[in-house]
Amino acid sequence: MRLLAVLLVLCPTFLAAAEPSVAEIAARRAWVWFGVSEAAARSHAASAGQAITVVWRNGTPAADVAAGVQVAILDGVVIEARDNALVEGCRESALLPLLGVSEVDATAAAQRLQRPVRVVWRDGNGLPATMDYSEERLNLHVSGGIVVAISGG
C-alpha cells in the first residue's frame, strides 16, 4: 500500500490511466439512470411523471432529499440515483470502477484497498446488516451477481 501511495505522489497519472471513464462503466450493463446526462435524466423523469432532485453536485450537497428520484451529478453526468425501489451508482469517484463488475471482483478490489466490504442488497432484497457505522466499510448492492451501487458505512 505504501508503494502505491509513493507512486501516486511521484506520478499521479499512474492509477488514473487504468481507471475506466463513467461512459465505459455505463457500457458494462443496462442502467436506468447511471451514466446519463443530467438533461437526459430530467427528460426521462418528466416523461415517466417522476420528480428528480439533484442532492449532490461535484462533491457538494446541492439540495435536501425530496420525494422522487434523488441523483448525484459529477461533471453533468448521473453517478448515483436513489428512489424507493432502486439504487444505482456511487458518489465516491474512486470507487466508480467497482460498478458493473462481479461481486467477487469488487470484493477482491475492496480488499486490495484494505476496505471492509459487505453486501447489503441482493437482487432487490435487503440483507441483515449490523447498524454500527464504519467509515471505511463499503456496502454493496448486487443485482444478478453484478455490483450496481456502493455506499459507505
Q: Read out DSSP for 9-76?
A: HH-THHHHTTSPPHHHHHTTS--SSTT-BHHHHHHHHHHTT--EEEEEETTEE-S---SSEEEEEETT
The full 3-state SS of 82-121, as one line of letters, equals ECCCCEEECCCHHHHHHCCCEHHHHHHHHHHCCCCEEEEE
**Residue 67 covered by a domain:** yes
pLDDT, one tens digit for every residue, the chain (153 residues):
333 333 233 333 333 446 788 989 989 888 889 999 999 999 988 998 988 999 999 989 987 777 789 999 999 999 999 887 788 999 888 899 999 999 999 999 999 989 999 999 999 888 998 888 888 999 999 999 999 999 887
**Residue 5 covered by a domain:** no
Q: What is the pLDDT of residue 67?
A: 75
Q: What is the pLDDT of residue 64?
A: 74
Number of domains composing the chain: 1
**Residue 115 covered by a domain:** yes
Q: What is the pLDDT of residue 101?
A: 95
> Quick one: cell of 109?
478490489
Beta-ladder partners of 151: 139
**Residue 94 covered by a domain:** yes
Q: What is the pLDDT of residue 108?
A: 95
Name the residue range of residue 44's domain.
20-152
Q: What is the pLDDT of residue 18?
A: 63
**Three-state DSSP state, 144:** coil
**Residue 13 covered by a domain:** no
Between CA 18 and CA 70, with CA 145 as vertex, the angle to 5 degrees is: 75
**Residue 10 covered by a domain:** no
**Residue 121 covered by a domain:** yes
